[in-house]
Amino acid sequence: MAALVAIRHNHAIKVSHSRLIDAGKLKKVAIVACMRKLLAILNAMLPDRAAWDASQHLSDRFAA
């Protein structure tokens, strides 16, 4: 459920999801990829107890 909310409201995850759908991936495959991306971001933030910074998670080539 967190991935579905992130796809709807988080710009970095939304762009990633849209890119996968545009590349022809199935919707469920794109959702699972977003789940993995969200977990990877959260696991990277946890050791430093870092706050969310969208600029670190969205590369310039995918910015919309």
Domain membership flag for residue 64: no
The pLDDT value recorded for residue 58 is 65
The answer to whether the CB of 21 falls within 8 A of the CB of 27 is yes
Domain membership flag for residue 8: yes
Give residue 27's domain range.
Answer: 2-50
With b for 16 or more beta-carbon neighbours within 10 A and e for fewer, the 21-51 pattern comes to: eeeeeeeeebbebbbebbeebeeeeeeeeee
Q: pLDDT tens digits, residue range 5-58?
A: 999 998 889 999 999 999 999 999 999 999 999 998 889 888 888 887 777 766
Domain membership flag for residue 57: no
The pLDDT value recorded for residue 29 is 97
Residue 63, pLDDT above cutoff 90: no
Residue 61, pLDDT above cutoff 80: no
The pLDDT value recorded for residue 64 is 44
Structural domain tally of the chain?
1
The answer to whether the CB of 64 falls within 8 A of the CB of 12 is no
Distance in Å from the first CA to the final CA of the chain: 24
Domain membership flag for residue 14: yes
